[in-house]
Structure 1
Amino acid sequence: MTGQVTKESIEAVLQRARERTMLLTDSVDDRELIAQHSPLMSPLVWDLAHIGNQEELWLVRDVGGRVAVRPDIDELYDAFKHSRSSRPALPLLDPTQARRYVRSVRGKVWDVLADVRFEGRELEVDGFAFGMIAQHEQQHAETMLATHQLRSGPAALVALPPPAAVGVHKLDEVTIEAGPFLMGTDDEPWALDNERGAHVVNVGTFAIDRFPVTNGQFLEFVDDGGYSRPELWSRTGWRHRVEAGLRAPQFWEYDGSRWWQRVFGLDEPLHERRPVVHVGYFEAEAYARWAGKRLPSEAEWEKAARWDPREQRSRRYPWGDAEPDETTANLGQRHLAPAEVGAYPAGASATGVHQMTGDVWEWTSSGFHPYPGFRAFPYREYSEVFFGGDYKMLRGGSFGTDSVAARATFRNWDHPIRRQIFSGFRCARTISERS
């Protein structure tokens, strides 16, 4: 969010998130709401009540100091106490109760917003707590959208088809010259703790794909036996490929003559000029090796997205500092698929790299670690407990990411085997600095 944070702007961003939540939950019947469509995902009704519970904990009770609405359900909706696979067995609120609960909480939030002053406590300066909750709800909305993709039937979601490319574009590379840039942020009022603080990183010269890897490019890897060549995979990646029986991106199916892609319950011919989606880190890594390249590091990705060599500064977004709109990025569930590469020329970075915001989350080679001077805020469980382990960083957002969580410093992470998320990638290549 740019400019001065106002109560009106906070009301708008909270209302946008809630309208999306209700669309995703009202578009199915109660039976579908309480069902678990994958052990990787919660029932949609759990997400709905969890959204309300987080809003109650932080805005009603903490910021507002109001009396608790439903203190008896805090443990049920604590994401760290119950795994996703175990949540259907819990005594959850039913759909009617969950809807009533989130309405009740939101009514109290409007009262808190009317009274709050954006000063004093760090949690309240610049409306941080409200921004944190808006981002939390939108992150769960994207998770619920992924659950819709995993459902067996078609999703009753309405969206415009993603745009076609503007002109003809070569799937080439862009060279990013060596030098320092400012990574992370100290200036974004709603930046989360893992995005802070801003620090200088010196990156060597590298080339990065101008566009995300497309379905057509990935199909060449598949047709060349990419899933049956262990030399292209890391040892851990190959073991997972064999154990999981991977042979193509998730939701791809071959009918004997052509490939199809299942998109929210409907089978569509594979769109070869759209970015590949629903691939895990190990598949991205294998493709990059097959292509004679590698995945970019997180720092390389952010430099390609943010660095303006003419102005010698890091931008908020690839195209500049203005908030995203429908001309610069495919965000906010406006479309239900990635757009063709070349569809957003106005969103290109200063160095000419396209579609680094929206369309697909992009895997990088980096693990999840804190920036220098990291301080957990306002709670350890958002970032700190996930540092280390096997997580890999994803950057840039997808067509299901809202603009409130789409700044170029935003960091996402997941296990390398995950494919139900809206994940794709682009490749990079080291360029020797010696002539």
Structure 2
Amino acid sequence: MPTASALLPATASHPPQEPALLSQYRHVRAASEMLVADLTDADATVQSMDDASPAKWHLAHTTWFFEEFVLAARLPDYEPVDPQYRYLFNSYYEAVGARHPRPKRGLLTRPTLDEVLAYREAVDESMFSLLITAQTDDEAALITLGLNHEQQHQELLLTDILHLFAQNPLRPAYAPELAEPVVADPRPAPEWVRFAGDIVSIGHGSDDFAFDCEGPRHQVLLRPFALCTHPVSNHQWFEFIEDGGYQTAGLWLSDGWRWVCDNQIEAPLYWEAREGTWWQMSLRGMHPVDPDSPVTHVSFFEADAFARWAERRLPTEAEWEHAARSLHATGNFIEGRALRPLPDRQNTSGVLRQMFGDVWEWTASAFLPYPGFQPSTGAVGEYNGKFMSSQMVLRGGSCVTPESHIRATYRNFFYPHQRWQFTGVRLADDV
């Protein structure tokens, strides 16, 4: 399995004359391959559920993105590595054409993992040649989008591997040899940070990269509110369970209660009761649930029910972004190699902690377009805009998010019942 030093590469050192975008391309592409360095072909092929994808499909799809949208568009005489890959590895781009059904990606025993890696190598060679030359602003923006797209799939690859390994009775660990992290004891007690009401600017407004759904920047009226200094801990979730939270219909939205009953939900995903103790499956295998770590793998339905039980509420995404905008986007990301949420390591009073990294935090906001939003033209316009229905926004990144990928304006989104991602909760309240 991957060694602690191999989960993400150090930023590569290349000749000073090498274009910055080429260096970034090398780094991101190498990071993806290091994540699968010790997976078997079987590990990388199997699909554990419709929402997940095989590891080798992630590797191939992110390569297809560059081949389809960059190489084929930029080079008139470009010959695809394999014309069939256009069908196999298209995800949801209707404008590109037909594609293999998502629930059947696990049936793609061919191409093999080695063949997918060879596909990546071939496309990379063409991309290296292209990236040595100058790009127009539009071409550079598209390549940067592709790299950020690949970073999204790095996180998805790990969360999908975790779900896959959790279905195996052997409970194999993705990275068992990583040393147990040293954490502070005890965890600082949660407090509340108040924010005055105001008209604030929300959304991305600089020239740095952002996904289209993060803009346009616009004004939002916020009433006075408070955020908890820490995300909800496993210990708090123990109390919710012991108080009958999963059996009390009045705490749940109607769809959430139906989801609980239909699926016999009794605890966060990957929790198992063993002789009166909760254990949890992680990328490091099975271990007792750490009471001081942020709870993770909970759905929006669970987050909303917990907030109601705690007599609080979830923050809106505008509240979350306004509170996070002045903070540095640092925390427990994939580069820290913990591969799971950790307790707060600093006993700092009265300030927001763990806003970035550890767990994606559910908000009370639906994933909808900001005022004035217009998707890009062409196939890449399908990237976010077409999903602005029936999903909820999450903020902050997780323990398997690349640190360079996150910012205060970043909008992640999932359906209310989904919880195989590293999703957690931060409480808010009215003032």
TM-score normalized with structure 1 length:
0.86
Per mean C-alpha deviation after superposition, the further-off stretch among 68-77 and 135-144 is 68-77
1:110 aligns to what? 128
Matched, 1:140 2:140: no
Quick check: 1:97 aligned with 2:115?
yes
Q: Which residue of 2 aligns with 1:25?
A: 36
SS at the partner of 1:262? strand
Give 1:280's aligned amino acid.
S
Q: Note the alpha carbon deviations across 1:184-235, whole angstroms, 9 max, x for none.
A: 1121431111011111112100111111101111111011111111111111
Instruction: Number of aligned residue pairs: give it.
Output: 399
2:86 match: 74
1:249 aligns with 2:268: yes
The C-alpha deviation readout for 1:155-193, integer Å capped at 9, x for no partner, is 343656445248852211111111122111121431111
Give 1:289 deviation, angstroms. Answer: 0.3
Q: Residue 422 of structure 1 corresponds to which residue in structure 2?
A: 422
Q: Could you tell me how far 1:257 is from its partner in structure 2?
A: 2.0
Distance of aligned partners of 1:161 and 1:116 in 2 relative to their CA distance in 1, 3 Å threshold: farther
Query: TM-score under structure 2 normalisation?
Result: 0.87
Q: Residues 368 and 270 of structure 1: is their aligned pair in 2 closer, same or farther, counting only changes over 3 Å?
A: same
Deviations 1:307-351 (A, max 9, x none): xxxxxxxx4xx23xxxx5xxx311135221112124596xx9xx8
* Letter matched to residue 87 of structure 2: E
1:203 equivalent among 219, 222, 229: 222
Name the SS for the 2:321 alignment partner.
helix
Tell whether 2:129 aligns with 1:128: no
Match of 2:88, SS? coil
- Whole-angstrom distance in 1 between the partners of 2:342 and 2:415: 25
> Is the Cα contact below 8 Å between 1:180 and 1:201 reproduced in 2?
yes
CA 1:356–1:82: 2 relative to 1, 3 Å: farther
Q: Equivalents in 1 of 2:219, 2:261: separation in Å?
A: 41
User: Structure 1 pair 288/19, CA: closer, same or farther in 2 (3 Å)?
Assistant: same
Greater CA drift, 160-169 or 180-189: 160-169
Kept in 2: contact 1:367–1:392 (CA 8 A): yes
**Shift in alpha-carbon separation, 1:288–1:25, aligned structure 2, 3 A:** same
Report the RMSD for the aligned CA atoms in angstroms. 2.2
Structure 2 residue 304 is matched with structure 1 residue 303: no
Map of 1:312 onto structure 2: none
* Identity within the alignment, %: 32
Range moving further from structure 2, 157-166 or 29-38: 157-166
| Cα distance in 2, alignment partners of residues 332 and 60 from structure 1 | 30
Name the amino acid aligned to 2:22: E
**In 1, are the aligned partners of 2:362 and 2:423 still within 8 Å (CA)?**
yes
Q: Runs (4+) of structure 1 moved beyond 3 Å?
A: 6-9, 63-66, 89-92, 158-163, 165-168, 342-345
Alpha-carbon distance in 2 for matches of 1:343, 1:9: 35
CA distance in 2, matches of 1:116, 1:243: 56
Distance 2:44 2:100 in 1: 18
Cα distance in 1 for partners of 2:62, 2:18 equals 21
User: 2:233 aligned with 1:221, yes or no?
Assistant: no
Aligned letter for 1:396? G
* Native 8 Å contact 1:162 1:337 kept in 2: no
The one-character-per-residue Cα deviations of 1:78-102 (angstroms, maximum 9, x if unpaired) are: 1124443122335752212111100
How big is the shift at 1:23? 2.1
Aligned-pair distance for 1:59? 2.7
In the other structure, the counterpart of 2:371 is 372
Q: Which runs of 5+ in 1 are unaligned?
A: 1-5, 307-314
Pair 162,381 (structure 1): closer, same or farther in 2 beyond 3 Å: farther
| Secondary structure in 2 matching 1:365 | strand
Native 8 Å contact 1:163 1:343 kept in 2: no
Secondary structure at 1:375 match in 2: coil
Instruction: Tell whether the 8 Å contact from 1:358 to 1:396 is kept in structure 2 after alignment.
Output: yes
Q: Is the 8 A contact 1:159 1:336 kept in 2?
A: no
Is 1:335 the counterpart of 2:346 in the alignment?
no
Distance in 1 between the 2:80 and 2:283 partners?
35
Q: Distance in 2 between matches of 1:179 and 1:353?
A: 19
Question: Contact conserved, 2:45 with 2:108, CA < 8 A, in 1?
Answer: no
Q: Secondary structure at the match of 2:43?
A: helix
Residue 375 of structure 1, CA deviation:
1.7
Change (3 A) 1:128 1:359: same
Letter in 2 for 1:245: Q
SS at match of 1:34: coil
Q: Report if the CA contact (8 A) 2:360-2:398 is conserved.
A: yes
* Structure 2: distance between partners of 1:143 and 1:84: 14
Q: What's the counterpart of residue 64 of structure 2?
A: 53
Change (3 A) 1:182 1:368: same
Matches within 5 A, 1:263-278: 263-264=282-283, 266-278=285-297
> 8 Å contact 2:174–2:284 — kept in the other structure?
no
| CA 1:163–1:416: 2 relative to 1, 3 Å | farther
Residues 15-74 of structure 1: per-residue CA shift (max 9 Å, x gap):
332222112222211122212233321121211111110121233223455614234321
Q: CA deviation at 1:413?
A: 0.4
For 2:347 and 2:360, the matched residues in 1 are separated by 16
Name the structure 2 match of 1:356. 355
